[in-house]
Amino acid sequence: MLRLIILLVTLIAAGPSYISSAQTTEAKPKKSVEPDDDMLRHYSREIGVLYRRLNIRSLNDIPEKSFVEYKKYVQNGTAYVIVHPAYYIFFHDYNDNKLVIERRSGNLLKNIVDVFIEDYPVGNNQMLQKMREGQNKEKDFLRKAVSQKGLVILVLPPNYINHHDYPYHKLDEFGRYLNEITKGAPSVVYIESRGHESGYLTGKTLSMLDSFLKETGVKTLLIGGGYVGLCVENFFTEAGRLHNIDKIELMPELLTSSPDFIMPGGNW
């Protein structure tokens, strides 16, 4: 825990300034992206390919006797954990500067994360620039980890498709992004956090993760994701309760800060 506190202090000193008290904003209606029915019918074949069910195995669905099969993906005793990937784009609270990206009707070429990184106009908005930079780093890391067949554990919000702040219920854009970025790699698994805005785990999930890491011989956990000081810190605390892990470290380049706490010179 001391190492986490020191790192957080370093990150805050090197990064953007943080506000000491919560900003109050007028509540805004939550937005749901509803694709046009004619578009859904016209592109039904493409949609059927792009928006299949999540193609990543849940640790819940893997028999404990099969955990040892994942040992071949553990490199130098290390596993990577990404807490709440792409959280800003898909799940951040609508009432606090929530970004909702809508694709043009029939334009299914890119997933929503790539639209945000490559096409969304951020201009001089420092907060959006920072979030885009962080998301790009996360995406590049996942691609590299998958290509090198490293063991990656994603911590997803529970039952995310029904998350109250998730706007893409009809076409599951988060699922599409995860499928495309992981390419169905068998070296990637996921668990669910206890809550949508928490990185803590249920007792059952923590015990299952403990067994999985023991059977695969993992001794080091490297953690990234969002948000630093919030869900990432929650998971860091949980990881400290694992029995066979010798080292737990954060990956600063893969940590994102909540936009609610970023104050980029007043340029929002």
pLDDT at position 251 is 98
Considering the domain boundaries, does residue 113 fall inside one? yes
- Is 86:135 a contact under the CB 8 Å cutoff? yes
**What is the DSSP-derived secondary structure letter of residue 170?**
S
d(CA 133, CA 135): 6
Instruction: Tell me the whole-structure pTM to 2 decimals.
Output: 0.87
Considering the domain boundaries, does residue 66 fall inside one? yes
Ranges assigned E (strand) in the chain: 57-58, 78-83, 152-156, 188-192, 220-226, 247-256
Q: Pseudo-torsion of CA 154, 156, 160, 166, nearest 10°? A: -100
Residue 92: which domain range? 56-261
d(CA 131, CA 37): 32
Considering the domain boundaries, does residue 170 fall inside one? yes
Considering the domain boundaries, does residue 167 fall inside one? yes
Q: Is 131 exposed, middle or buried (0-12, 13-18, 19+ CB in 10 A)?
A: buried
Burial 221-234 (b: 16+ CB within 10 A, else e): bbbbbbbbbbbbbb
d(CA 98, CA 94): 4
pLDDT at position 24 is 37
Residue spans of the chain under pLDDT 70:
1-29, 94-97, 263-268
d(CA 57, CA 117): 27
pLDDT at position 32 is 86
Cα radius of gyration rounded to whole Å, the chain: 19
Considering the domain boundaries, does residue 45 fall inside one? no
pLDDT at position 171 is 95
pLDDT at position 260 is 81
Length of the chain: 268
Q: How many domains does the chain have?
A: 1
Considering the domain boundaries, does residue 38 fall inside one? no
pLDDT at position 97 is 63
In this structure, what token pair is assigned to residue 240? 């400290």
In this structure, what token pair is assigned to residue 33? 């992206």
Considering the domain boundaries, does residue 226 fall inside one? yes
Considering the domain boundaries, does residue 130 fall inside one? yes
CATH number reported for the structural domain that contains residue 154 in this entry: 3.40.50
Q: Characterise 77 by phi-psi region: left (phi > 0), alpha (psi -120 to 50), beta (else).
A: left
d(CA 85, CA 64): 25
